[in-house]
Structure 1
Amino acid sequence: MGVLVVLGITLSAYAQPPSSRLPGRKSESAEPWGAFLGRAAHDAIGRQYRIQHPTNLIFLGTIDLSTIIREGKLGDPNRLSALVKRLRPDITDTDALVLFEVKPDNEVGRRMGREQAGRYLAALNAAIEPNKHLSGGTHFDGSLFIEFEGGGALWQLAWRTPEPGVTLYRWSSRRPKPNTSWQERAAQKEEQLSQEEVEKRGELAERVLRAAYEGSEWPSGFRGQVYLPVDCP
């Protein structure tokens, strides 16, 4: 997916966790703080695409090109080289015949997304039947919110697809404002997440979003709510 390279560039400020003894973080975890938000974004955006296309066969970033071609009945995966077979696009829809690469919303992320999407499309289309060629997906935008406690921290994950095959995401927050609805706070000016916020809630945010999409119980220590795109105006 190329996720780790981009995360190293865009989230390097969060790469040295000062302590593992913070709310929402497993005591044995030694993973860079920013990695949780990158992984959470990829997972949530992929799951949301599946929700919006419930009848399509969709492969997310853990599935390689060889499996996509074989299970998607697109052609002969043996036409791929051994190295190319292991490549894993972020979102591949073999019914709509489109592909997306998910990257942070900045110039580096956009350039890398464009390059990787082009590389994956070239590899796929060289190995599949001519009438099943894929292209870069479009018109995939959305937003969700995590409210950590009533009137307190409100985080937003938003994504857009400014060019075919490249979906860009960004995290932001809203200032706490007691005795107001989450919609009122969501309408406030967005602010960049601080390092302190990411250190405190980064890992918890990843687990909370997974629980929201899977319909499972909230992680221990979470006393808030998640508002998925269906809940957002």
Structure 2
Amino acid sequence: MKNSGTRTRSTWRLAGFLLVLVAALGAQAQPPSSKLPGRQPDSKEPWGAFLGKAAHEAIGSAYRVQNPSNVVFLNTVDLYRIVARGKLGDPERLPELVRRLRPDITDTDALMLFELKPDNEESREKGRAEAGRYLAALNEAVEPGKKLTGGTGFEGSLFLEFENGGALWQLSWRTPEPGVTLYRWSYRRKKPGASWKERAAQKAEELPREEIEQRGELAGQAIRAAHEGGERPKGFQGQVYLPADCR
């Protein structure tokens, strides 16, 4: 019995050690988290995820501006509510497993759907698969004559200028295949005294990490205010040029 108790304690100590080791290795494997102004200090959101959220919001707003008379649902609304609110059919026909899925942009007047992804081949393939899954689920539930397809012809660009001649950010998007819209963030270096259009013609570069850290939160707030017609966020001294300004 004594030997059995000793083995049990040893087993528990080993299990505890392994749990701590796995946790430590998992923490090291996590992507770097952004430390943006106004965010919680313990936030674990990766850089790419933060910029992705800002892009989704901006591109979704741009689609609504371009299609003001259409009923458009963004990725805060799930398939069940899209079918119900869009008057497409019977949402109860949707399988339980897919009812809570949320496509990025669904236009229930144009009967089109878009999935937004970063502009690279891996993300493009993922977007194609997700758009296909959403369309298959929706089209099982909608009425005849209301089948949805992958959206096409959606592209655009917007710029953020920080101070006069300061850093210039660009968010651009394109739809190279039905239902898949790819976006890209890019950057132009400072050029005091030059107009934003002159600087937009400069060579596009990858958005530097220090720029994201310094201005990322402000950029998202500024784009939102520009689309909604609200006040500029505190600390933003530049301009936002929406797609209509860039044509």
Which secondary structure state, in structure 1, belongs to the residue aligned with residue 222 of structure 2? helix
Pairwise CA distance, 1:116: 0.3
Number of equivalenced pairs: 217
| Residue matched to 1:16 | 33
Distance 1:27 1:96 in 2: 37
Conserved? CA contact 1:103–1:168, under 8 Å: yes
| Residue matched to 2:145 | 131
Q: TM (normalized to structure 1)?
A: 0.89
The structure whose Rg is larger is 2
Which secondary structure state, in structure 2, belongs to the residue aligned with residue 88 of structure 1? coil
Match status 1:54 vs 2:68:
yes
With a CA cutoff of 8 Å and minimum separation of 6, indicate the structure with the bigger relative contact order.
1
Deviates more, 1:141-150 or 1:25-34: 25-34
Conserved? CA contact 1:34–1:198, under 8 Å: no
| Residue matched to 2:23 | none
2:40 to 28, 47, 60: 28
Distance 1:58 1:75 in 2: 16
The change in CA–CA distance for 1:27 and 1:61 in structure 2 (over 3 A counts) is closer
Distance 2:225 2:48 in 1: 19
1:225 to 236, 239, 244: 239
Identity of aligned residues (%): 66
Runs of 4+ more than 4 Å apart: none
Which secondary structure state, in structure 2, belongs to the residue aligned with residue 130 of structure 1? coil
Distance 2:242 2:204 in 1: 18
Distance 2:170 2:235 in 1: 19
The change in CA–CA distance for 1:105 and 1:65 in structure 2 (over 3 A counts) is same
Offset from partner CA, 1:80-105 (integer Å, 9 cap, x none) = 12221100000000000000000000
Offset from partner CA, 1:55-98 (integer Å, 9 cap, x none) = 11110000000000001111110011222110000000000000
Deviates more, 1:201-210 or 1:94-103: 201-210
Aligned residue type for 2:130? Q
Offset from partner CA, 1:8-27 (integer Å, 9 cap, x none) = xxxx997234xx4x6xx115
Conserved? CA contact 1:161–1:167, under 8 Å: yes
Unaligned runs of 5+ in 2: 1-28
RMSD between aligned residues:
1.6
Unaligned runs of 5+ in 1: 1-11
Distance 2:168 2:153 in 1: 26
Match status 1:194 vs 2:208:
yes
Match status 1:99 vs 2:99:
no
1:67 to 81, 84, 89: 81
Distance 2:73 2:126 in 1: 20
| Residue matched to 1:183 | 197
The change in CA–CA distance for 1:39 and 1:134 in structure 2 (over 3 A counts) is same
Pairwise CA distance, 1:139: 0.2
Pairwise CA distance, 1:194: 1.1
